[in-house]
């Protein structure tokens, strides 16, 4: 189901963004990791495919587990040094394979009854406070667009309930923030 070709295309797109956004880079894989000191890269994904049950806090489906595993390959040249999730099992399980492969303990920013915009601001504050240049944020269909906006990115529509393959890379810290959307 997940083919190497889309991952290769994504790698090329991310390399192009890094070259355009940062200092001149060598022609090898390190071009993707070239960043200016004030730039923070935020990679945002919605949690992977979820089961219907239990309704309150579902597990990932088999397809979701494969998608979560594929994140390792998708972001391998980005030197992710922090991961942020919510308290819900589906976001934690989506981040788990990458966290384990990198030896990172994800930061959990709990959702609450204050609403999507307040949650997005909490995530944005947490991301900015991290001593990290590249952060993976695993959110939800309604929170990923709000988090992008809270981090200074453009306003984008909510993600459809049946869409799981969106990946956003936000270059924050430099004005204006730049956003790239890809599929994985």
Break the chain into its structural domains and give their ranges: 4-183
Reported as a single tens digit per residue, the pLDDT across 109-160 is 999 888 999 999 999 999 999 999 999 999 999 999 999 999 999 999 989 9
Percent of the chain with pLDDT strictly greater than 70: 79
Phi, psi dihedral angles at 19 (to 5 degrees) = -70, -45
Q: β-strand 166-172 against 178-183: which pairing, if any?
A: antiparallel
- DSSP H stretches of helix in 22-106: 62-74, 89-102
Mean pLDDT of 14-24: 41
List the CATH code of the domain at 4-183.
3.40.50.1240
**Per-residue pLDDT band at 11 (split at 50, 70, 90):** low
Between CA 59 and CA 155 the distance in angstroms is: 30
pLDDT of residue 165: 96
pLDDT of residue 154: 95
Reported as a single tens digit per residue, the pLDDT across 45-85 is 999 999 998 888 999 999 999 999 999 999 999 999 999 99
**Per-residue pLDDT band at 39 (split at 50, 70, 90):** confident
**Residue recorded with tokens 């390959």:** 73
Mean pLDDT of 4-31: 41
Q: The sheet that has 107-108: what strands, in order across it?
A: 107-108, 82-85, 134-139, 40-46, 166-172, 178-183
Q: What angle, rounded to 10 degrees, do the helices at 116-129 and 143-150 form?
A: 50
**Residue recorded with tokens 């599929």:** 183
Answer whether 150's CB lies under 8 Å from 127's CB: no
- Give the three-class secondary structure for 31: helix
The partner residues of 168 in beta bridges, in order of sequence, read 44, 181
Look at residue 12 and tell me whether its pLDDT is greater than 50. no
């Amino acid at each position: 189901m997940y083919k190497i070709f889309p991952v290769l295309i994504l790698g090329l797109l991310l390399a192009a963004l890094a070259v355009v956004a940062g200092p001149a880079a060598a022609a090898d894989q390190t071009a993707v990791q070239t960043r200016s000191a004030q730039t923070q890269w935020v990679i945002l994904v919605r949690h992977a495919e979820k089961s219907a049950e239990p309704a309150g806090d579902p597990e990932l489906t088999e397809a979701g587990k494969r998608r979560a595993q594929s994140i390792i390959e998708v972001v391998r040249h980005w030197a992710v040094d922090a991961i942020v999730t919510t308290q819900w099992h589906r976001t934690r399980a989506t981040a788990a394979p990458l966290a384990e492969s990198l030896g990172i303990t994800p930061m959990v920013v709990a959702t609450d009854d204050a609403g999507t915009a307040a949650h997005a601001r909490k995530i944005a504050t947490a991301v900015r406070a991290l001593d990290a240049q590249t952060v993976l944020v695993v959110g939800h269909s309604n929170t990923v667009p709000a988090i992008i906006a809270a981090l200074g990115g453009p306003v984008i529509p909510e993600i459809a309930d049946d869409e799981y393959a969106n990946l956003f890379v936000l270059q924050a810290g430099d004005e204006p923030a730049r956003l790239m959307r890809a599929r994985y």
